[in-house]
Amino acid sequence: MPSLTDQAFLDTTADRLAALPTVRAVTLGGSRAQGTHGPGSDWDLAVYYRGAFDPDEVRALGWAGEVCEVGAWGGGVFNGGAWLTIDGRRVDLHYRDLDAVEHETAEAEAGRFGIEPLMFHLAGIPTYLVVAELAINEVLRGELPRPAYPEALRTTAPDRWHGAAAATLAYAKAGHARKGALTQVAGAIALATAQTAHAVLAARGEWVTNEKGMVRRAGLDGPDGIDGVLGNLTPDPQALGRSVTDAEEFLRAAVESARRG
């Protein structure tokens, strides 16, 4: 059971993390930072470091849990972290390399970004996600910029995400639907929907930090949306083809509407 109040826990933990060598800032993210958390929500913290960050310094703090090496989470912009229990609370700690974050901030300002695979994310993550964290998360210690959504990104990101969604569905129609492969068609529609949600939110200039609630935020769910399409799937090849067409038309209209504002 926790022995500290939430604020005391947060202050103590942030102080200890901020004191680590090379750490320049500590932030609170996730539902706790946005005020949407429940009693059982975990705590998402991040350390922003400059130079050679050593996870052994985190281990030396003596908190229970698993501390990963830098690069252990695939080596992209999400380059590692730890799953900890601190004062009876579940804490996800993320490592953020300031050099990489600053690079992705400059890229986003120019309308450029990459898409990296990440476990539990259907569509992968855009590299501008670390920029979104700067805009949304609460800075507990140190100083970090608060970037606005780049206008260039509002132009390039919808095209790229919707282009990926259109290609995903075209392949599903030409291949999986004709063979009655219901599971693969359902997966393709789900993937295209996640890609389109990114496109819609980018067109609106709304930051995304993960896929949780993203489809709902983009207005793509519900019985009149993609949920309805998925709920009506059958293994009949012609019916599957029609379902893919329905998804194509619905998702295209959603992106066009978002672009018009």
CB 47 within 8 A of CB 92: no
| Same domain? 170 vs 132 | no
- Asked if residue 175 and residue 95 are part of one domain, the reply reads no
> Comparing C-alpha atoms, which of 109, 88, 105 is closest to residue 97?
105
CATH number (domain holding residue 113):
3.30.460
CA 165 to chain centroid: 17
Identify the three-state secondary structure at position 128: coil
Q: What does the alpha-carbon distance between residue 16 and residue 40 come to, in Å, rounded to a whole number? A: 24
Query: Are 87 and 9 contacting, i.e. CB atoms less than 8 angstroms apart?
Result: yes
- What pLDDT shows up at residue 189? 98
Distance CA(13)–CA(43), nearest Å, equals 11
Q: 15-50 b/e with 16+ CB inside 10 Å = b?
A: eebbebeebbbbbbbbebbeeeeeeeebbbbbbbbe
48: containing domain: 6-141
Q: Are residues 71 and 33 in the same domain?
A: yes
What per-residue confidence (pLDDT) applies to 229? 97
| Separation CA 192–CA 51 (nearest Å) | 38
Alpha helices in the chain (DSSP H): 6-18, 30-34, 56-59, 98-109, 129-136, 151-171, 182-204, 214-217, 226-231, 237-260
pLDDT at 119: 85
In a domain, 1, yes or no: no
Query: Do 214 and 255 lie in a common domain?
Result: yes
CA-closest candidate to residue 111, choices 160, 164, 144: 160
On whether both 97 and 17 belong to a single domain, the answer is yes
Query: Quick check: 144 and 168 in contact, CB under 8 A?
Result: no
Q: Examine the domain organization and report whether 130 and 11 are in the same domain.
A: yes
Q: How far apart are CA 48 and CA 141, in angstroms?
A: 10
Instruction: Please check whether residues 157 and 70 belong to one and the same domain.
Output: no
**Last residue within a domain, chosen from 110, 141, 172:** 141
Task: Based on the fold, state whether residues 59 and 170 are members of the same structural domain.
Answer: no
Tell me the pLDDT of the chain (261 aa) as tens digits.
788 898 999 999 999 999 999 999 999 998 877 777 777 788 999 999 999 999 999 999 999 999 999 998 877 888 899 999 999 999 999 999 999 999 999 999 999 999 999 888 999 999 999 999 999 999 999 999 999 999 999 999 999 999 999 999 999 999 999 999 999 999 999 999 999 999 999 999 999 999 999 999 999 999 999 999 999 999 999 999 999 999 999 999 999 999 998
The answer to whether residues 104 and 50 belong to one domain is yes
Q: Is residue 249 part of a domain?
A: yes
Domain count, the chain: 2
37 lies in the same domain as 109 = yes
DSSP state of 121: -
Asked which of 141, 165, 193 is the last residue of a domain, the reply is 141
Residue 84 falls inside a structural domain: yes
Pair (172, 128) in one structural domain:
no
Which of 102, 120, 141 marks a domain boundary? Answer: 141
- In terms of domains, do 128 and 12 share one? yes
| Predicted local distance difference test score (pLDDT) of residue 2 | 80
In a domain, 146, yes or no: no
| Residue 198 within a domain | yes
